């Protein structure tokens, strides 16, 4: 998908999300942040107008939007960003979609229901009093997304109906059903968004890196409950990483229970051998 990390831009001195190449606003005025402007600017990375936050993946840019906002007695106000995918989704194919989000440390509040919606038409809301897309996204978080320091992964698999070519990010639940955690008296929830990805599992392939004297095999792949490991490595330590390279597990067991892992892509390393695997429940 184009500009998935929000690195490429037109006028980065302007906070308008439309300045991130390939991205647009579905409603209201979602924001664009980049380190190309100085620290005195509202949309500087990492010194944004809503608090300090580094890029999730070592880059320079990310997006931001209000996902819960009450003002003047008006409820269910949302900002959404959307982009057009490089390829149309294929009917019956299983896809993995993910994004990293971070809660603004200015507002502190959080919700549960951040989602990724795939449609065959652009999700542009008309100007007026309606600022919520009332639908069920294919990918949606089910835990409170309250971390203001670290980036949080929202990721899941889904089966495409076919012809979906637009991706929209935001909160598709009403104020009363989004699990809002009001830690301070304000009525706002704001998230930074980065590293958005969509992969067709049929075309991902399972890449394996081998050294001359080491081999690594894991099965089943995708895994649902138990992941089994066969290795000729003399190194007994097994390490698992998420998509960002964060270490999530160390073990010496050759059978690993992955039933509590979120659906998505992971990496397993023994010695100098690395294998990519998928968890799909």
Global pTM reads: 0.79
Using CA atoms, how far apart are residues 23 and 84, in angstroms rounded to an integer?
8
Cα 36 to the center of its chain, rounded Å = 23
Domain CATH code at residue 192: 2.60.120.260
Both 176 and 249 in a single domain? no
Both 156 and 223 in a single domain? no
**More confident call, 272 vs 255:** 255
Range of the domain at 28: 17-203
Both 217 and 187 in a single domain? no
Residue 55 lies in a domain: yes
215, 269 contact by CB (below 8 A): no
pLDDT of residue 82: 98
pLDDT of residue 73: 64
Question: Reduced to 3 states, what is the DSSP secondary structure of residue 92?
Answer: coil
pLDDT of residue 72: 62
Both 183 and 53 in a single domain? yes
pLDDT of residue 102: 96
What digits encode the pLDDT tens for the residues 48-72?
999 999 999 889 999 999 999 876 6
What digits encode the pLDDT tens for the residues 62-121?
999 999 987 666 678 899 999 999 999 999 998 989 999 999 988 889 999 999 999 999
**More confident call, 87 vs 127:** 87
């Amino acid at each position: 998908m184009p500009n998935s990390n929000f690195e490429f831009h037109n006028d980065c001195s302007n906070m308008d999300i439309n300045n991130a190449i390939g991205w647009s606003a579905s409603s209201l005025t979602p924001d664009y942040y980049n380190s190309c402007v100085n620290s005195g600017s509202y949309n500087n990375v990492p010194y944004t107008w809503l608090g300090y936050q580094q890029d999730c993946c070592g880059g320079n840019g990310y997006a931001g939007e209000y996902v819960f906002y009450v003002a003047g007695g008006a409820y269910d106000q949302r900002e959404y960003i959307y982009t057009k995918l490089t390829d149309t989704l294929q009917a019956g194919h299983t896809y993995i979609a993910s994004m990293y989000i971070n809660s603004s440390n200015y507002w502190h509040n959080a919700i549960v229901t951040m989602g990724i919606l795939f449609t065959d038409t652009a999700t542009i809301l008309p100007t007026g009093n309606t600022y919520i897309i009332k639908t069920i996204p294919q990918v949606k978080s089910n835990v409170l997304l309250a971390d203001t320091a670290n980036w949080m992964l929202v990721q899941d698999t889904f089966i495409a109906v076919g012809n979906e070519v637009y991706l929209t990010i935001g909160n598709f639940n009403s104020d009363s059903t989004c699990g809002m955690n009001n830690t301070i008296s304000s009525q706002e929830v704001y998230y930074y968004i980065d590293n958005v990805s969509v992969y067709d599992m049929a075309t991902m392939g399972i890449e394996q890196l081998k050294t001359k004297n080491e081999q690594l095999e894991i099965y089943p792949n995708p895994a649902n409950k138990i992941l089994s490991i066969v290795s000729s490595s003399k190194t007994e330590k097994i390490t698992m990483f998420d998509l960002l390279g964060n270490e999530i597990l160390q073990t010496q067991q050759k059978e690993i229970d992955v039933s509590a892992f979120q659906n998505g892509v992971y990496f397993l390393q023994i010695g100098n051998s690395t294998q990519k695997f998928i968890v799909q429940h």
